[in-house]
């Protein structure tokens, strides 16, 4: 359960970072793709990074809840 919560925390942290600062996250993790896109396509790419961050955060929350609520059923 401890490892599950650690992974959930990391996913939530990365998700918050990506959702709060998608431009910076895109520069870090997708810099080659971001710079190769036409300038009019870059805002769309950054919006997809924000959506990815939100989904990553929600996935981390759900994984943590699953680990906590159903921990008594794990062997």
pTM: 0.84
Q: Assign 75 a pLDDT band (cuts: 50, 70, 90).
A: low
- pLDDT for 14 equals 95
Residue ranges per structural domain of the chain: 2-73
pLDDT of the residue at 1: 78
pLDDT tens sequence across 21-65: 999 998 888 888 888 989 899 999 899 999 999 999 999 999 999
pLDDT band of 73, cuts 50, 70, 90:
low
Judge whether residue 74 has pLDDT over 90: no
Eight-state DSSP code of residue 41: T
Query: Which DSSP letter does residue 38 get?
Result: -
Asked if 33 and 44 count as a contact pair (C-beta separation under 8 A), the reply is no
């Amino acid at each position: 359960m401890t490892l599950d919560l650690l992974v959930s925390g990391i996913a939530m942290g990365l998700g918050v970072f990506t959702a709060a600062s998608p431009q910076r996250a895109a520069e870090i993790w997708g810099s080659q793709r971001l710079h190769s896109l036409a300038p009019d396509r870059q805002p769309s790419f950054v919006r997809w990074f924000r959506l990815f961050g939100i989904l990553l955060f929600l996935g981390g929350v759900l994984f943590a809840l699953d680990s906590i609520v159903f921990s008594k059923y794990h062997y």
